[in-house]
Amino acid sequence: MIRFRLKELIANKEFQERRVITIAEVAQATGINRMTLSKIANHPGCNTGTENLDRLCVFFGCKLEELAQHIPVKKDPA
């Protein structure tokens, strides 16, 4: 499963810039729909396109591996 670290990146940017950053602000700056950003932030395993990932990396000034990470899913023995 892919885990997006959007909330963490927002929190880090808020700390660095000493201000509140909203999903609406990220949406306006990146051109990504607020609902899409909400899904990325709140729904594990959300599926989004590479263009959105690229826009978020540009906004946060980060690498893809800082935005998303692979979490192995443990399978039940059959």
Question: Domain residue spans in the chain?
Answer: 2-70
**H-assigned helices in 1-78:** 6-17, 23-30, 34-42, 50-60, 64-67
pLDDT of residue 76: 74
pLDDT, tens digit only, all 78 positions of the chain: 899 999 999 999 999 999 999 999 999 999 999 999 999 999 987 899 999 999 999 999 999 999 999 988 888 776
Residue 4: phi and psi, rounded to 5, are -90, 140
The second-level CATH assignment, the architecture, of 2-70 is Orthogonal Bundle (1.10)
pLDDT of residue 78: 64
Which amino acid is residue 12, in one-letter code?
N
pTM of the complete model: 0.86
CA gyration radius, the chain:
14
